[in-house]
Amino acid sequence: MIKVLAFALYGPLAASTRYRLGQYVPGLASLGIHLKICHLLGDDYLRWRFGGGEVPIVEMIRAGMNRLADLWRQNEYDASLLHCELFPLLPGLLERALMRQPYIYDFDDAFYLKYRRNALAVAEPLLSNKFDTIMAGAATVTAGNHQLDQYASQFNANTQYLPTVVDTSRYLPRYACRSDTFTVGWIGSPSTSTYLSKLVEPLSAIGKEGSVRLIVIGGKAPAIPNVTVVEIEWNEHTEVDLINSFDVGVMPLPDDDWARGKCAFKLIQYMACAVPVVASPVGANLDVVNEECGVLAATHQEWTNALRMLRDQPSKRTQMGEAGRERVTQHYSLHHTLPVLAHVLRTAVRSG
């Protein structure tokens, strides 16, 4: 049995930890690979952060001590896997020194921009190249979309495209009788729900023509005239049923460097449930969505036209939903990527 110790930045409440690491544990075990996941910032941290509260300094110190203890245990494993970063604000050379060789580096967002933008840009002189350094020292880098793959390839020739996927045996279509209210749905986190502002004008226009509901799971919705807005707290046990209540799933994005690093994961969730999609033509959205399973919309008018078309053509929604389900099954399913990750881990162990 190969033993791999994975260092996640966040606990399982973070979607990236669940889907990039956690969902692989049973399948890898069946292939002779034991994946142990430890995290730095637990679920309580995310609840404090999303709730706007202050994180207790005692808890942060305890988290750091636990991380150091986990690092000490690396010698009990055949390889290590780092997802995101070991410690915020720690230079890349120090993180490389703390990682047991060989290690795999995994990322699904444009983390290399973290210390080059917004409030953290003050650390740019020291940390702007942190992730480049970590990637360069890895046995293999696994990247969540093609843009991230291209970026990482500049620093490490052993870079593997590994999309963020779903377990299609859990994400199943559940066809039910639809109401007369056209239901548009979105799932995400408070940090990404700000992108919903792009839909205010298109949804308001559609709402003037008939009954429209916007369901927002896991985030805050903007006020939208003529639209019934429903905010629902995310829950792992209800998310699939809620997605199945959508007539259309949406993923609006701005066209910037950070958004282009996104992995289109919410589109994959919708499509796995045979829900047709409308998305901004940005980043991985361009890879995931084709004309058979959804519509790419850049302007307010394109969004309005796409939503109106899907509202007025139920048979088109069904056709696109079925095509989306097939596309996810073939390209974005756990069944498809499990052997890829297993090969990456075995190869890294052999290289050591």
Whole-number pLDDT of residue 1: 93
Burial label for 97, CB within 10 Å (0-12, 13-18, 19+), is: exposed
Whole-number pLDDT of residue 48: 79
Owner of token pair 């701005």: 254
Of 2, 82, 79, 3, give the one whose Cα is nearest residue 39. Answer: 82
Question: Is the alpha carbon torsion for 170, 331, 337, 258 positive or negative?
Answer: negative
CA angle 172, 178, 180 (to 5 degrees): 155
φ/ψ of residue 205, rounded to 5: -65, -40
pLDDT in tens, 35-82: 999 999 988 887 777 776 777 788 888 989 999 999 999 999 999 999
Higher pLDDT, 57 or 307: 307
Q: From residue 230, give the alpha-carbon distance in Å to each of 111, 200, 220, 242.
A: 31, 14, 10, 12
Whole-number pLDDT of residue 334: 98
- The answer, yes or no, to whether the previous bond of 102 is cis (omega within 30 of 0) is yes
Question: What are residue 228's DSSP bridge partners?
Answer: 213
At residue 201 the predicted structure's pLDDT band, cuts being 50, 70 and 90, is: very high
What is the value of pTM for the model shown?
0.94
Of 76, 94, 96, 84, give the one whose Cα is nearest residue 36. Answer: 76
How confident is the model over 308-315, as a mean pLDDT?
Answer: 96
Could you tell me which residues come within 8 angstroms of residue 61 by beta carbon, excluding any fewer than 6 positions away?
A: none
Could you tell me which residues come within 8 angstroms of residue 242 by beta carbon, excluding any fewer than 6 positions away?
A: 185, 187, 215, 217, 232
Whole-number pLDDT of residue 67: 95
At residue 177 the predicted structure's pLDDT band, cuts being 50, 70 and 90, is: low
Residue 28 has pLDDT above 80, yes or no: yes
Whole-number pLDDT of residue 118: 76
Q: From the DSSP assignment, how many helices (H) and strands (E) are in the chain?
A: 16, 12
For each of the domains in the chain, give its residue range(s) and CATH number, in order of start: 2-165+334-351 (3.40.50.2000), 182-331 (3.40.50.2000)
Residues in the chain: 352
Report the distance separating Cα 63 and Cα 217, nearest Å: 29
Contact 64, 101 (CB under 8 A): no
Higher pLDDT, 301 or 117: 301
Question: Is the alpha carbon torsion for 30, 3, 166, 331 positive or negative?
Answer: negative
